[in-house]
Amino acid sequence: MKAKPSKKLSRCPNCGHAPLREDTITDRFEYRPDDVEPLMVEARDVPVEICPSCGEKFLGPAAARVQHAAICRAVGLLTPEEIKRIRERFGPSQEEFAALTGIGVATISRWERGRMLQNEAMDRYLRLLAAHPENANALRQLRAPAEPVSLPESALAHGSRGAVSALGFRFVHPDERQLKMNKEWRPRRCVA
Our finding on whether 12 is near Zn ion (CB under 5 A) is: yes
From candidates 4, 11, 14, 164, binder to Zn ion by CB under 5 A: 14
Closest CA to 7 of 61, 67, 47: 61
Nearest distance, CB of residue 10 and Zn ion, angstroms:
12
Closest approach of Cβ 13 to Zn ion, in Å?
8
CA dihedral (96, 106, 45, 127) positive or negative: negative
Tell me which of 17, 21, 44, 140 binds Zn ion, using CB under 5 A: 17
Based on the shown chain and the rule CB under 5 A, indicate whether residue 15 belongs to the binding site for Zn ion.
yes
Cβ proximity to Zn ion, 19 vs 92, nearer residue: 19
Adjacency order of strands within the sheet including 57-59: 21-31, 39-50, 57-59
Q: Pick from 44, 41, 24: which is nearest to 33 by CA?
A: 41
Residues 36-75 that bind Zn ion (CB under 5 A): 51, 53-54
Helix (H, G, I), strand (E, B) or coil at 57: strand
Residues lying near Zn ion in the complex (CB under 5 A) are found at 12, 14-15, 17, 51, 53-54
